[in-house]
Structure 1
């Protein structure tokens, strides 16, 4: 497994860990523009998840292109 694939995996797993760890955000304070923490934290993760998924997709494309051309991907040798 190359380092680039590890980063891809972390990008895709991070939102799941953040949302499954309910105890970290099951509270009302601090509020943001009148919205309890519980709600704005989840909505923030929608944006973060989108960005992380986009990063993972771009890294995957880069990795696949590198494998097709036979060049090692940045950050690791070809398998």
Structure 2
């Protein structure tokens, strides 16, 4: 029987690209990356400029995943 009773399966959000979103979560948890005072960049210790790098990493990965998974 064809008609309104037939329903399409809901769209799935299970794309392999979504696994990249784990990177900005795991990388800041690696404490050995920023467990030192040097090197300094523009007078800031490694901890501070690395936090800014983590933000840029998160923005970049999120943008990449969005572009690869959006419906065209």
Partner of 1:41: 50
Give unmatched runs, 5+ long, in structure 1. Answer: 66-79
RMSD: 1.4
Higher alpha-carbon Rg: 2
Contact (CA 8 Å) 1:8, 1:59: kept in 2 or not?
Answer: no
Distance 1:45 1:30 in 2: 17
Contact (CA 8 Å) 1:27, 1:38: kept in 2 or not?
Answer: yes
Higher share of residues assigned helix: 1
Give unmatched runs, 5+ long, in structure 2. Answer: 1-14
TM-score of the superposed pair, with normalisation by structure 1? 0.64
